């Protein structure tokens, strides 16, 4: 979590530099999509608040009509995510799953530093399923709860971000 927070703070400093915003045009849709997902899924309030601060700064940098049009295409996707009924699974097509962060379910027990597939625990119970990622091993149930279930906090954070975005788009 400290890496996520440090990354957001670094981006805030970078985006706060007064310069031409032309370099932003190619990254606006993908960048906003990543930040929106962070705002929506993050469970640590400090990171969510910092992501919201960065979101507002990023949105304020959107100037030209081409950038606005590309963001408008994402709005229906974001509205669908924030309108997911509480406790219901989020549509995975609306979420970004980076290719370099591929996840796989494995039967996994650590014995002497070596992974043994299909192993049992010392009590003779089958090892529990774990989610293995490049960041380490996560419990499947907690990952599913965080990433796949709509909560009131998710909806509030997502709606706040979208409200700021909608207010920032110039009226035609």
Strand partners, 89: 149
pTM for this prediction: 0.70
| pLDDT at position 51 | 98
DSSP state of 120: B
What are the domain boundaries of the chain?
2-89+149-168, 99-143
End-to-end Cα spacing for the chain: 41
- Give the ranges where the chain is alpha helix by DSSP (H): 2-16, 28-41, 45-60, 65-82, 140-148, 152-168
Quick: pLDDT tens for 16-55. Answer: 988 878 888 888 889 999 999 999 999 899 999 999 999 9
What is the chain's pLDDT, residue by residue, as a tens digit (172 residues)? 799 999 999 999 999 988 878 888 888 889 999 999 999 999 899 999 999 999 999 998 887 655 677 787 899 899 999 999 888 888 888 888 767 544 444 433 343 344 444 444 444 544 443 333 344 333 334 444 444 566 888 889 999 999 999 888 777 6
Residues 6+ apart with CB under 8 A from 66: 25
């Amino acid at each position: 979590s400290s890496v996520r927070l440090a990354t957001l703070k670094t981006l805030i400093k970078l985006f706060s530099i007064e310069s031409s915003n032309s370099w932003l045009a190619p990254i606006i849709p993908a960048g906003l999509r990543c930040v929106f997902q962070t705002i929506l899924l993050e469970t640590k309030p400090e990171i969510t608040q910092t992501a919201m601060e960065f979101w507002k700064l990023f949105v304020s940098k959107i100037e030209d009509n081409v950038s606005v049009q590309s963001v408008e295409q994402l709005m229906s996707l974001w509205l669908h995510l924030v309108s997911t009924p509480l406790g219901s699974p989020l549509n995975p097509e609306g979420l970004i799953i980076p290719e370099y962060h591929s996840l796989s379910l494995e039967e996994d027990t650590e014995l002497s530093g070596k992974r043994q597939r299909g192993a049992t625990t010392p009590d003779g119970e089958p090892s529990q399923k774990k989610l293995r990622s490049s960041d380490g091993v996560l419990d499947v149930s907690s990952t599913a709860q965080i990433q796949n279930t709509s909560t009131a906090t998710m909806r509030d954070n997502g709606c706040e971000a979208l409200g700021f975005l909608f207010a920032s788009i110039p009226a035609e």
